Copies of this chain bind each other. A is one copy, B any other.
């Protein structure tokens, strides 16, 4: 069982690491971080690099594909190696998943046409414009496609998928191992619960949230 997590310049680290920490905790699962070429990949903040351990060429198939988001996704919408690899590996994947604006890459690759999907709350309109049927849930399953809302939602997505793949006891074991018993000190995690001034502030700056520096 192989899980491939895509890295590209300008990705958001937590988008990739949430699912990584869940899937890599399941015995017997091989998780591979994959990029256009092997080597360090800079995140959207510009302060962290994760290493792509394999190149797209080296990973021709995966049971589960995870496409993270991040402002860097804008460079992969109109073609190029990330979009093409995702489309190619999707042909034989069992599950193709996304976190945050990673679903925009799936949509741009033509994989979400007419399918229910979600994304970062600031990118909902874009996802709809690419032909997906936006469902503003935290995790959305449609056939073999699973999409998560923004950034931290990848943890919930991966646990939900782990429950389907290996059963609830295994998913709960991983959840307890990473002590995922969230206690956010504030209730501002969604545009429905956050103070209006906070929502407005981010909407005004959505270019900075969704696009690279």
Contact = CB atoms under 8 A, between A and B. Distances in A.
B48 A24 contact: yes
Given A51-B51, A184-B156, A121 B18 contact: no
- Categorize the interface residue count of chain A: 35 or more
A1 interface: no
A153 B179 contact: yes
A179 B121 contact: yes
A179 B171 contact: no
A181 B189 contact: yes
A185 interface: yes
Contacts of A181: 138, 149, 152-153, 184, 189-190, 193
A102 interface: no
A178 B14 contact: yes
Q: Which 10 A-B pairs have the closest CB atoms?
A: A181-B189, A150-B179, A172-B188, A182-B182, A151-B178, A49-B51, A14-B21, A181-B190, A160-B185, A17-B17
Interface of A: 12-14, 17-18, 20-21, 24-25, 30-33, 40, 45, 47-51, 53, 100, 120-121, 138-139, 149-153, 155-156, 159-160, 163, 168-169, 171-173, 175-186, 188-191, 193-195, 197-199, 201-202, 209
